[in-house]
Amino acid sequence: MLRIKPHPTLTRLFALALCAVLLFGAFSATLAEEAQTAQKTVRIGYVSAKNYEEGGPGEYKRGAGYEYLQKISYITGWKYEYVYGTFKDCLQQLIDGEIDLFGNVSYTQERASQMLFSTYTQGKDVYWLHTDVNHPALLTGDLKALNGCRIGVTSNSFQESLLKEWLEANQIEATLVGCSGFAEMMEKIDAGEIDTFTAPDLSPEYGYRVVIGIGSSDYYFVVSNGRPDLLEELNAALFEIQSAETDYNTMLTQKYEYKAATGWTLNAEELEWLAAHDNTIRLGILEDYLPFSGIRNGETAGVVTALIDSLKNDYGVTVALTTYKDMCEMDCALTENKIDLYGPVAGDLYLTELGDRVLSDAILQTTPVMIYKKGLSDRNPVIATSQSGIFTPDMVNVLFPDSPTKEYADVYEGMRAVSREEAGGVLIPSARINVYKTDPLMENLSFAEFTNRTEICLTGSKLNRRAVTIFNKAISRSSVSLNGMVLAESADEGGMNLAAFIRQNAWTVITALGTVLAVFAVLVLFLMRNRRKLTKALADANRANEAKTVFLSNMSHDIRTPMNAILGYAMLLEREFEAQDTNDYIGKIRSSGEYLLSIINDVLDMARIDSGKMTIDETFFPISDGIGLDEMFRNDIAKKNMHFTEEVEIKHPYVFADRAKVSQIVINLVSNAIKYTPEYGTVRVFVKEMPCEKPGFATYVMTVADNGIGMSKEFQQHLFDSFTREQSTTESKINGTGLGLSIVKKLVDLLGGKIVVESETGKGSRFTVTFTLRVCDDPEQYLSKKKAEEATVDLTGRRILLAEDNALNAEIAIALLKDSGVTVDHAEDGVICLDLLTKSAPGTYDFILMDVQMPNLDGYETTRRIRALNDPKKARIPIVAMTANAFEEDKQKALESGMNDFVPKPIDLALLMKVIAKIVGR
């Protein structure tokens, strides 16, 4: 914390104006503050290591470890005093009490007796054997090559014991050479005194190659035994960091190291492939698709050149290029083994699987941009497609499954079709906007950019996948510069610069200069007008997207608020009444309400399914829970006099999976079977467990069969398309939107399952869904353990400040919390919440439950103002968002505003108690 010292002159003038008593009081307060500041000075062991902790005394500092220390300082208010040295020196200084805190220390029993370890890990280290270019025999993957080697390792370290165990387990005889640290090991291998050495992931900048991994361990912050007061504050800070950002250390590693040397070295299989292919990879590229690939002035241009240069310079690999006009030509060439891989392609895994291909790592990302005609109504939603770029007809169907497509020769033909209103739009990557924006066709067309990102990759065949993995190494090495190349290539679409043109065409330039000057003013006016139109159209599109997002968010909030009241009062009734029948009815109300809530969530999140953003919520539940469907559909079954049977043959009834999505799939299929089966028909539901090779998992086959109207072979090809229904269903006047099976297919794909349909017109249909799910071998033990964990939460005597503007929601929350021994003070909005906290004594409240949408002052702004309070204890009070704004971006917004956690409405009491227990446990 920075303190501004008062100017001496002003201090003297101020002292003269005060009485002796006030002067003494101010002096005493200053002494107390200075003493408190001195107590917060922490001596830090600082090791100079590339990308981890860089910078000596008085020098600029950076690195993943340094940034982690600053994050801790931000929370604790500590001031650091850096003590510089090697890892071994700093560890000894910590033991001797000469420093207070040190990071990146692996746990051993001996160290635990000498220092205090943090409760929470700082990160995980993977240890490798590294070597240099002078030892190629060690890079073949043959462990026998390590026999007789001299291996450098830090003396008396964790990696030394790990290395000894690994060598013994693999029956390798080698000589260990003890070193003081990484710097000495580098000196010894450069001098030829050792053949290989042990270290965690290293930056490729060092130039060493990875031989093999020998194991891993967590590492921690450690505190001197003489400063136990720091350990409690350190653990509280680490808890806050890791609760808000569970992958914080991973993010830091990626930020500073990009990708370690382990991902850049060619392995034995890749070297063998290159040897068998004359050290050459045959690459197909699109001839006119800058900034990704193309030919300029007879030479290869675009981002792909960075990958080719990396393979040549870093690995000595030759790339033989062949250019093609479109995707079909390149795919045929790959099938005929004329090339080893091609690109660019859109990185869609499902389309890749259908083509029996493999994808490279992402070269970069782009966003789809729709070119559309101004003022064109929705009466023609057709999207123009072509094979001349990454947005092929198949890819467009993935991005816009509900929109029909029409294929054209190239994007320009698609633009002409849009201009003639034959099509509603054509897709291009955002990086190619500069290629098209000055085209005359754009005078009546506009751009609209979408938010979903598309990865740009290369693709090859599964039988020849080593060509792809070799290119992955070049992608890793070039990752830092690729985005910059996109900008440079996008900006430079010309082949000859102005100076060269003037030198070669001097008289032509002089003759044309007068004409250019004459039309220049008109051209500028035209471009300015066109730019204003494009800017306005883009702004209109952005406003439309924003309005859609706001509508969905508000709709989610408005629906969840009454649902919270319904489920909350059902929970309270269940506690109040003990009669079996009453509890049975209430249980059914809650079960139906929870299922309705899951449907609401899926309806509001359909856009997330299409964009791949919907998440899987894995919970513990009985897989046979969906059986008992005859109760749900009793009236429909009775009305049609149907024969309905359910059979279950499973060994592991309890699984960990997304209960809501599995239930929705089964219920949708059963509902369709009943709907499309005539009177006196038969519907059969069968769940069977099959053997699974994966330990801890089981394969479940769920079958829904009927003897209803069935489907034709032709229609089955479009069965899972949105808004698609067969003619026979409309003729029979069976109601439906044609969305049900489309949703089922997307949910099955999302859960990693497979759905198969067998049907014949007039004879019925049979849907078979297969899932591989994690099982629970001992559900009673799991439930007992979970119940015991929840039972250990004692909230008696705790005091909570609840900020909630909805009276019904407040009543439910207060009633539920009071049963746990909690005292609740209620604030109707953010202003009252802030006022109650400000006027209360420090420590009055243990934490705050904060609604987000409130009048006068919303939850986000209230939180920001609390975090800015002068009283540090009040400013750091835990705040949990408890809101009907339940989208992922709402959760992220809550955390960014300063809240510690997030609980969605309707209130799940178990989840709420778990979050509260986590906060109280700090």
Report strand pairing: 288-289 vs 293-296.
antiparallel
pLDDT of residue 49: 80
- Of 186, 247, 117, 190, the C-alpha closest to 199 is 186
Q: What is d(CA 664, CA 599) in angstroms, rounded to the nearest whole number?
A: 8
Mean pLDDT of 46-64: 85
Left if phi > 0, otherwise alpha if psi is -120 to 50, otherwise beta: which for 843?
Answer: left
Q: Which amino acid is at 846?
A: D
Across 314-334, average pLDDT? 92
Give pLDDT tens digits for 551-567: 555 555 555 555 555 66
Predicted confidence (pLDDT) at residue 731 exceeds the cutoff of 70: no
**Residue 250 CA, distance from chain mean position:** 12
H helix and E strand count, the chain: 34, 35
Residues 204, 192 contacting (CB under 8 angstroms):
no
Query: What phi and psi values does residue 414 have, to the nearest 5 degrees?
Result: -65, -40
Instruction: Grade residue 531 by pLDDT with cuts at 50, 70 and 90.
Output: low
Per-residue pLDDT, averaged over 292-306, amounts to 84
pLDDT of residue 301 exceeding 80, the answer is yes
Crossing angle (nearest 10°) for helices 466-491 and 268-276:
90
**Phi/psi of residue 193, nearest 5 degrees:** -85, -20
Q: What pLDDT score does 677 carry?
A: 92
456 close to 366: Cβ distance less than 8 angstroms: yes
Asked if the model's pLDDT at residue 23 lies above 60, the reply is no
Sign of CA pseudo-dihedral 61, 67, 72, 73: positive
* pLDDT value of position 534: 63
**745-754 pLDDT tens trace:** 888 888 889 9
Contact 384, 406 (CB under 8 A): yes
Percent of the chain with pLDDT over 90: 26
- Stated as kind and residue range, the H or E segment containing 464 is none
Residue 892 pLDDT class (50, 70, 90 cuts):
confident
Query: In this model, does residue 525 exceed pLDDT 70?
Result: no
Averaged pLDDT score across all residues of the chain: 78
Average pLDDT over residues 838-843: 90
Most confident of 267-276, 331-340, 784-793: 331-340
What pTM, to 2 d.p., does this model score? Answer: 0.40
What pLDDT sits at residue 527? 62
Q: Amino acid identity of 735?
A: N
Element (H, E) at 830: helix 830-839
Please check whether residue 630 is in contact with residue 669, taking contact to mean a CB–CB distance below 8 angstroms. no
What does the pLDDT look like over 4-22, one tens digit per residue?
Answer: 444 444 344 334 334 333 4
**Residue 707 is which amino acid?**
N
pLDDT in tens, 490-519: 544 444 444 434 444 445 545 555 665 655
Query: Is the separation of the CB atoms in 87 and 222 below 8 Å?
Result: no
Question: Each residue of 654-712: pLDDT tens digit?
Answer: 898 888 788 888 888 998 899 889 999 999 999 999 888 888 899 999 999 999 988 88
Instruction: Confirm if 706 and 764 have CB atoms less than 8 A apart.
Output: yes
AA letter at 753: G
Amino acid at position 98, single letter = E
Q: Are 755 and 769 in contact (CB under 8 A)?
A: yes
